[in-house]
A and B are shown apart, each in its own frame.
Chain A
Amino acid sequence: MTTFDFEKPIAELEEQLEKATSIAEKGKVDMSDSITKLEAEIEKTKKEVYSNLTGWQKVQISRHPERPYTLDYIQGICDEFLELHGDRNVKDDKAMIGGFGTIEGKTYMIIGHQKGRNTKQRQMRNFGMANPEGYRKALRLMKLAEKFNKPVITFIDTPGASPGLEAEERGQGEAIARNLLEMAKLKVPVLCFIIGEGASGGALGIGIGDRVMMLEYTWYSVISPESCSSILWRSWDFKEKAADALKLTSDDMLKNGLIDGVVKEPIGGAHNNPAEIFATVKKEIKRLTKDLRALEVDDLVMQRIEKFSHMGSYHEI
């Protein structure tokens, strides 16, 4: 398990607990007192550490290598899933996956960025950075969902849209732009969950939803803190400062009215208890879909367009 610097106090206590437990197991000394004390101490320290996380620390958790990815959520939430491939034009982008999934007898179109767990997978998934064909596949699947009147769920987890020669040749800008326009007028409910990294246009390209929800320890902004630091301060050393300045955490984004809700994670992050986060997200999907299905289709679309139309900060003089 990867441990971050700020988690060290917890890790140290857990180590002590482990030692105490192993001594107790050998049965020679009664350790129950110190075990109870250590457990309480761990709980207390966890609360302290995780309730005072900085923006940058949350960014680190959002990138934790054991954090659940889109396919993990699908597996953890759906009764059945049928993956659908290809954009019908160029190829099948492995950084963007999608297909029909059922949750308690209801079918949804589920689409999301996909990262890899090891070097080989990461390469295959292009680190979760989709190419134009990925965005076009996503759009094709959303149109399919619209045709068969199934709600759309997207899982967002990307360090950005893929920058490269081929991406530009095939119109990365156009592909994302088209998705924004088409998603705005999609005639079925659209739910978006930011489950890890929500970087810029690459995230927004599948992020125009009736309800956009951020998991607690995720980030969403126009640029990563590292790139922001390198542009504004001409060095990667100011990423902590940039993370604070960008106000990219779920709490900040909710406060600024740019997302619709925050989904609470297991303490310390989704990877500490995947089953728990799957259950929470599943509950949210059911609740939000029910709310949105109660609306007339025209109202649904109009409310979505209105919501994004009101985002901005300006004065009239």
Chain B
Amino acid sequence: MSWFKRVKEGISTSTKDKKATPDGLWYKCPRCKKTTIKEDHVANNYVCPHCEYHHKIGSEEYFHILFDEAQYKELYDNIISGDPLEFVDSKPYTKRIEESINKTGLRDAVRVGVGKVDNQHLVVACMDFNFIGGSMGSVVGEKIGRAIDYAREHKYPVMVISKSGGARMMEAAFSLMQMAKTSAKLALLGQEGIPYISLMTDPTTGGVTASFAMLGDFNIAEPEALIGFAGPRVIKETIGKDLPKGFQSSEFLLEHGFLDFIVPRTQLKDQISTLLYMLSEKKTRQRKEKIEAAKSEA
């Protein structure tokens, strides 16, 4: 049985001395399977340079992409969920919340940041899909409501980045009423002539679509995002047929007249900045330089 015995010494390397490639040096696109150096992928706003697949990102990444020098002030991060119905499914809701907080380092499915985009003020409420599927419970409704109030108080434009599976079932009717709450707050914002931009990302469904996501003065979306009211599975079960290709995609919504435009994430900041500038007509330094550069190039 000698062939089972290690004859030569020193072939095995102890684990601590193993020289493996460090984790996260490469990003492998789940769609085209091609690899990109992680740094380049981040620099490209988490969009695959080969196939333009938009990797799902969270609020932190969006804030970094949008705000000048990644500088922003986070607002209302002290709000955490209650358990109004003492809901228990496979585990108690309070435990689910606690575990999600520990797992994600987030306090709920939305964060609010205020900062500058090309030197123009903007309030951004951005949803996090990692936190219970980006579902809308009382905290999401309250924070979006307060973000709108903050925008009204300071006369800053406001943007909501949606990424949500819809309602948070463990808050049942409380969750439902967040649709009413956020829409009512937007009614107030609209009366004051403050711009509201809604950016829909993959996925935006259910009660989020049927409230603040669709109520933007500007409804925009990332490419190829799933956007709809009823989930594809529910519709498929209802009609008993397969859904047409591209159904409920950003491109489908644009075609049917529900989006102003689709914006690739690589151009997100630029487009938002342009929009804000067109509304305020304030020439910021960056804006001036950009226009001059474009002119001299021409």
- A27 in the interface (beta carbon within 8 A): no
- Min C-beta distance of B235 to chain A, whole Å: 5
Contact between chains at A246 and B212 (CB < 8 Å): no
Q: What count of chain A residues pass the 8 Å CB interface test?
A: 52
A174: chain B residues at CB < 8 Å are: 209-210, 214, 258
- Min C-beta distance of B247 to chain A, whole Å: 7
- B291 in the interface (beta carbon within 8 A): no
- B83 in the interface (beta carbon within 8 A): yes
Contact between chains at A173 and B167 (CB < 8 Å): no
B235: chain A residues at CB < 8 Å are: 163-165, 168
Contact between chains at B89 and A172 (CB < 8 Å): no
Contact between chains at A172 and B229 (CB < 8 Å): yes
- Min C-beta distance of A146 to chain B, whole Å: 14
State which of B84, B173, B191 has its C-beta within 8 Å of the C-beta of A222.
Answer: B173
B179: chain A residues at CB < 8 Å are: 177, 180, 201, 204
A207: chain B residues at CB < 8 Å are: 180
Q: Which residues of chain B (88-118) have a CB below 8 Å from chain A?
A: 88-90
- Give bound CA distance, A177 to B145, whole Å: 15
B243: chain A residues at CB < 8 Å are: 165
Q: Max chain B CB contacts within 10 Å: which of A170, A308, A315?
A: A308
Q: What count of chain B residues pass the 8 Å CB interface test?
A: 62
Contact between chains at B172 and A312 (CB < 8 Å): no
Contact between chains at B138 and A171 (CB < 8 Å): no
- Give bound CA distance, A165 to B234, whole Å: 11
State which of B87, B175, B180 has its C-beta within 8 Å of the C-beta of A184.
Answer: B180
Q: Which residues of chain B (104-148) have a CB below 8 Å from chain A?
A: 138-139, 141-142, 145
- Give bound CA distance, A285 to B43, whole Å: 61
Contact between chains at A316 and B229 (CB < 8 Å): no
Q: Which residues of chain A (163-214) have a CB below 8 Å from chain B?
A: 163-165, 167-174, 176-178, 180-182, 184-185, 200-201, 204-205, 207-208
Contact between chains at A313 and B83 (CB < 8 Å): yes
State which of A173, A185, A222, A245 has its C-beta within 8 Å of the C-beta of B89.
Answer: A245
Contact between chains at B183 and A181 (CB < 8 Å): yes
- Min C-beta distance of A57 to chain B, whole Å: 18
Contact between chains at A222 and B81 (CB < 8 Å): no
Q: Which residues of chain B (205-250) have a CB below 8 Å from chain A?
A: 206-207, 209-215, 227-230, 234-235, 238-239, 243-244, 247-248
- Give bound CA distance, A313 to B137, whole Å: 9
- B59 in the interface (beta carbon within 8 A): no
A176: chain B residues at CB < 8 Å are: 210-211, 229
Contact between chains at B256 and A169 (CB < 8 Å): yes
- Give bound CA distance, A314 to B248, whole Å: 33
B157-178 vs A, Cβ < 8 Å mask (1 yes, 0 no): 0000000000101011111111
A217-256 vs B, Cβ < 8 Å mask (1 yes, 0 no): 0001111000010011100000000000111100001001
Contact between chains at A258 and B174 (CB < 8 Å): yes
- Min C-beta distance of B233 to chain A, whole Å: 10
Residue of B nearest to A227 (CB): B234
Contact between chains at B79 and A314 (CB < 8 Å): yes
- Give bound CA distance, A163 to B213, whole Å: 18
- Min C-beta distance of A192 to chain B, whole Å: 11
Contact between chains at B229 and A161 (CB < 8 Å): yes
- Min C-beta distance of B77 to chain A, whole Å: 9
Given A167-B229, A171-B256, A178-B215, answer yes or no on A311-B169 (Cβ-Cβ < 8 Å): no
A245: chain B residues at CB < 8 Å are: 85, 87-89, 172
- A29 in the interface (beta carbon within 8 A): no
- Min C-beta distance of A193 to chain B, whole Å: 16
State which of B82, B87, B188, B258 has its C-beta within 8 Å of the C-beta of A171.
Answer: B258
State which of B87, B177, B184 has its C-beta within 8 Å of the C-beta of A312.
Answer: B177
- Give bound CA distance, A205 to B175, whole Å: 15
- Give bound CA distance, A258 to B172, whole Å: 11
- Give bound CA distance, A246 to B170, whole Å: 8
Contact between chains at B79 and A181 (CB < 8 Å): no
Interface set of A (CB-CB < 8 Å, partner B): 161, 163-165, 167-174, 176-178, 180-182, 184-185, 200-201, 204-205, 207-208, 220-223, 228, 231-233, 245-248, 253, 256, 258, 304-305, 308-309, 311-317
A-B contact pairs, 21 of them (CB 8 A): A161-B210, A165-B239, A167-B229, A169-B256, A171-B257, A171-B258, A173-B210, A173-B213, A173-B214, A184-B187, A201-B229, A204-B177, A204-B180, A208-B184, A309-B185, A312-B138, A312-B174, A313-B84, A314-B139, A314-B142, A315-B81
**A-B residue pairs, 4 tightest by C-beta:** A173-B209, A163-B230, A312-B138, A180-B183
